[in-house]
Amino acid sequence: MDSEESEDETERARRKIRKAKRACRSELSVSKGDWTRRSYATSNVLSLAGVVDTLPRVDARTTSWETFVACFESRRRPCIITHAMDDWPAFRGERAWTLEALRQRFAGVRLKVGSDDDGFAVRLRTEHFVAYASDPQGALVDDSPLYVFDGSLEREGSRALLADYTVPSLFPEDLFSTVGEDRRPPYRWAVFGPARSGSSLHIDPLATSAWNALIRGVKRWVLIAPGVPRASCRPRIPGVTDGEAVTWFTNILPRVQSADWPHARAVEAIQRPGEIMFVPNGWWHAVLNIEHTTAVTQNFVSSSNFDAAWRHTRKARPKLAVKWKAALRESRPDLAARADAIDAENQPCLSESAPSSSSSSSESEETANDAGRKRIKKGSSS
């Protein structure tokens, strides 16, 4: 490709990127410089000075599933798991998820970088996103850059990504899988994010837990325990919207960290390549990419968080709940019976109940957990 053709391709990519920006953030003017007006690219928002990582590390090579469930999952304790992705093609080797490798393998594939005002996906070709990620007029200077958060990994173009990783051995249960891929809620995403992109503070839907595997780059996490009111950790500040990660970290996190914060202290962590973050259901969490990152994440329901997930699904997705219970009667009759008991009690949806402070769970939860472990050990799928 000669220099003139290269210039034409660069300008073509920038046109596509400007169009995607307008679609994703219609309130910001590209031509008037709204994407860089806060000058976050020259601020210290990416500094990790003073960040104290207090999350425990769990070595997947020496930790059994039963131990992990007892110490972390059933107690709703977040942690970072190490050595669970050492053999992933996405992590090392010729299929590793570097920007250049992704550009070469998936040129022409359209990846989701956001949603428009009507909720429709906004997509960019992989090569255009990679160009944007390293563009001195693009992601390198944008306050909150576009980033890939693509959950349509079954699409023909991006399906090959699924062969590059496997679900970590500490997360063998995936109870929504019983209703089938077509019916289940969205649950897995490829995430490619430039520095200053990320996710503002939120709780994952339907009381699902999540794991997030970092392949390249560095992420900063803030986690706030269940039970903290939304108004406290996402307060209304005149002139400030916290819809973007960098905005929340800049304007609201200092309040959360202040001495007069009336709730349990937020937990902070710095995630590095090869580490997997475990976020139990109900925990608030925000993520800021400190440098360009590639990652994969999945949400799931296990025996440990089934009760909460059932209550949420029954309320928010009643038709799905009917099909889910029917599927559970075939594969997990113990949990179907538990769902029947919850329905009979007519308990309300408990979206922000506090995590257990005890290492033991209730008798009914322990029975469900034990039944699930036995089934998986016997090789049955869930």
Q: What percent of the chain has pLDDT over 70?
A: 88
- Residue 261, CA atoms < 13 Å, CB-side half-sphere: 20
Domain containing residue 124: CATH number: 2.60.120.650
Q: How far apart are CA 290 and CA 95, in angstroms?
A: 23
| Domain termination site, one of 123, 147, 164 | 164
> Would 345 be classed as within a structural domain?
yes
> Would 218 be classed as within a structural domain?
no
Position 382 scores a pLDDT of: 36
> Would 382 be classed as within a structural domain?
no
- The model's pTM: 0.89
> Would 97 be classed as within a structural domain?
yes
| Domain termination site, one of 137, 164, 191 | 164
- Domain holding 314, by residue range, is 306-377
Average pLDDT over residues 341-354: 64
> Would 298 be classed as within a structural domain?
no
- The string of pLDDT tens digits covering residues 243-283 is 899 999 999 999 999 999 999 999 999 999 999 999 999 99
- Residue 368's nearest CA partner among 184, 187, 169, 175 is 175
> Would 263 be classed as within a structural domain?
no
Q: How far apart are CA 245 and CA 54, in angstroms?
A: 21
> Would 46 be classed as within a structural domain?
no
Answer whether residue 71 shows pLDDT above 90.
yes
Average pLDDT over residues 191-218: 97
Average pLDDT over residues 41-55: 96
Q: How far apart are CA 348 and CA 16, in angstroms?
A: 47
Least confident of 174-188, 240-254, 345-359: 345-359
If one counts the domains in the chain, the total is 2
- Going through the chain in order, the beta strands assigned E by DSSP cover 57-59, 79-82, 110-115, 121-125, 148-150, 188-193, 198-202, 209-216, 219-224, 267-271, 275-279, 284-289, 293-300
- Residue 257, CA atoms < 13 Å, CB-side half-sphere: 14
| Residue pair 196/144 in contact by the 8 Å Cβ criterion | yes
Of the ranges 256-265, 277-286, 354-363, 370-379, which is most confident? Answer: 277-286
Position 353 scores a pLDDT of: 41
Average pLDDT over residues 3-24: 84
| Domain termination site, one of 122, 147, 164 | 164
Position 11 scores a pLDDT of: 86
> Would 201 be classed as within a structural domain?
no
Answer whether residue 376 shows pLDDT above 60.
no
- The string of pLDDT tens digits covering residues 222-239 is 999 999 999 999 988 887
Position 241 scores a pLDDT of: 73
